[in-house]
Homo-oligomer: A and B are copies of this chain.
Amino acid sequence: MRDFSADHRWLSMNTATLRGAGRLDAIIEACARHGIRAIAPWRDPVAAIGNERTAALVRTHGLELSGYCRGGMFPAVDAAGKEAALDDNRRAVDEAKTFGAACLVLVVGGLPGALAGTPQSKNLFAARNDVRDGIAATLDYARQVGMPLAIEPLHPMYAADRACVNTMEQALDLCDALDPERTGVLGVAVDVYHVWWDPKLEAQITRAGKERLLAFHVCDWLVPTRDLLEDRGMMGDGVIEIPKIRSWVEAAGFAGYSEVEIFSSRDWWKRPVDEVLLTCVERHRRAV
């Protein structure tokens, strides 16, 4: 297991962690000030400043992208909705390629309409079929472009509205089905927040193996957790044994960035960006 205590060369900042800092250009410049070598941006803030400006900033600061957020959201109630999702995913693959991302992260989607608060179906089976078909179609395109897709199993509390793939086992079953040769173009993003509770986690990380462990995300589970979406904790402030989980992914061969992704409207988004970054660096060295 790599020693993170001496520096933060393996720290990547998911830009959602710094949402309080405003536009993506300000966020990237703040990361550069703190010697961050990698980021993982979201599509909306990229769109707000444009692909070209984003690409120029990434180049200027010599940044890597540990991932690009996000593709997915495949389930829909009709063919037109499914096709629109596939179009959007192809654009996401293209953008990820433009920025040289290590992978496109897939938040696969839940029940159609649920994210907007108006579920149009209760059929999880249908949603999971849409997800399988959507990943299969996107994978064909991702292979041509050369952009790995990372299925992110989300915590089961998001099964209705964000992702109906909720365990590593389920994600890897999809990988086995859609990429049985383990070509490296389909794998998983392991976010400790989503999977820390899983009694089968270590076994499934071993099963994933180096070629399918495409991303590793960190934050912490707070006790109590006051909001299902935006009350994630800074590493070390919660109950997740992050170093233990990192030891498992590294034992399986993962050697990439630890990407800090903290949704925290109650706390970290309200703090000055430099304080957040200094804290992330310090916690990366002693709590990841």
A residues with CB within 8 A of B:
111, 114, 117, 119, 122-124, 128, 155-157, 159-161, 164, 166-167, 170, 196-199, 221, 223-226, 228, 239-241
How many angstroms from the CA of A111 to the CA of B122 in the assembled complex?
A: 33
How many angstroms from the CA of A223 to the CA of B170 in the assembled complex?
A: 23
How many angstroms from the CA of A121 to the CA of B42 in the assembled complex?
A: 34
How many angstroms from the CA of A156 to the CA of B196 in the assembled complex?
A: 9
How many angstroms from the CA of A114 to the CA of B119 in the assembled complex?
A: 33
Are A199 and B128 touching (Cβ within 8 A)? yes
How many angstroms from the CA of A197 to the CA of B153 in the assembled complex?
A: 12
Are B224 and A199 touching (Cβ within 8 A)? no
Are A199 and B240 touching (Cβ within 8 A)? no
Instruction: Please state the number of chain copies in the assembly.
Output: 2
Checking B128, B156, B223, B226 against A114 with a beta-carbon cut-off of 8 angstroms, the contacting residue is B223
Checking B111, B221, B239, B241 against A239 with a beta-carbon cut-off of 8 angstroms, the contacting residue is B111
A171 to chain B minimum Cβ distance, whole angstroms, is 10
How many angstroms from the CA of A156 to the CA of B156 in the assembled complex?
A: 7
Are B167 and A224 touching (Cβ within 8 A)? no
User: Other than the known A114-B239, A128-B199, A156-B157, what 6 A-B pairs have Cβ atoms closer than 8 Å?
Assistant: A156-B156, A157-B228, A160-B197, A160-B223, A161-B223, A161-B224
Given the contacts A156-B155, A161-B223, A197 and B228 also touching, CB distance less than 8 Å: no
A261 to chain B minimum Cβ distance, whole angstroms, is 18
Are A117 and B224 touching (Cβ within 8 A)? yes
